[in-house]
């Protein structure tokens, strides 16, 4: 039996859509790892390229901070990371928007106080002009 051109075309589109989604997932997981590496080194130039200008971070204590606030505490040394290990990352893609969820184990301190060791996170990204940027993050303490 020979597949009709319509059925074949539909199957090709489904395959390419799936490949695109897989590529987006891998790209965003890579961006998450780049983000973590930048946090570990207090590399604010890299973070500036990852975070959108309207980025909003909500931490595990319910405190909100904008992009400049995040960069500022890293530059000042108020926020220091010793280690961050990501796990369980899942990417949900919605065209030019995507949500990454996952878990992390981290050590470090903020203004001398230890960071919450185990967290779960949700990061929201948008793609503009072919480049993915983080627009929002939310973290909660995990058990």
Summarize pLDDT for 130-141 with one digit per residue, the tens. Answer: 999 999 999 999
Distance of alpha carbon 28 from alpha carbon 125, whole angstroms: 8
Q: What is the pTM of this model?
A: 0.85
Give the pair of three-digit tokens for residue 6. Answer: 């319509």
Summarize pLDDT for 79-127 with one digit per residue, the tens. Answer: 999 999 999 999 999 999 999 999 999 999 999 999 999 999 999 999 9
What is the CATH architecture of 5-141? Answer: Roll (3.10)
Tell which wins on pLDDT, 134 or 17: 134
Find the helix or strand (DSSP H, E) in which 116 lies: none
Is 70 exceeded by the pLDDT of residue 13? no
What is the rounded (10 degree) CA torsion for 111, 113, 119, 124?
Answer: -10
Summarize pLDDT for 36-80 with one digit per residue, the tens. Answer: 999 999 999 999 999 999 999 999 999 999 999 999 999 999 999
Residue 143's pLDDT band, with cuts at 50, 70 and 90, is confident
Q: Are 75 and 67 in contact (CB under 8 A)?
A: no
Neighbours of 126 (CB within 10 A): 17
Give the pair of three-digit tokens for residue 2. Answer: 């020979």
* For the chain, domain boundaries: 5-141
Give the pair of three-digit tokens for residue 21. Answer: 């989604």
């Amino acid at each position: 039996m020979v597949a009709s051109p319509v059925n074949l075309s539909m199957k090709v589109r489904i395959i390419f859509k799936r490949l695109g989604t897989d590529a987006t997932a891998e790209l965003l997981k890579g961006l998450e790892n780049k983000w973590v590496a930048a946090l570990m080194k207090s590399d604010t130039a890299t973070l500036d390229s990852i975070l959108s200008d309207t980025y909003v971070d909500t931490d595990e204590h319910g405190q909100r901070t904008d992009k400049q606030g995040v960069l500022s505490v890293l530059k000042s040394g108020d926020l220091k990371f010793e280690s961050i290990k990501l796990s369980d990352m899942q990417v949900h893609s919605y065209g030019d928007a995507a949500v990454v969820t996952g878990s992390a184990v981290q050590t470090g301190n903020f203004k001398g106080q230890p960071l919450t060791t185990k967290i779960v996170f949700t990061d929201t990204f948008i793609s503009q002009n072919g480049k993915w940027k983080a627009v929002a993050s939310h973290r909660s303490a995990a058990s």
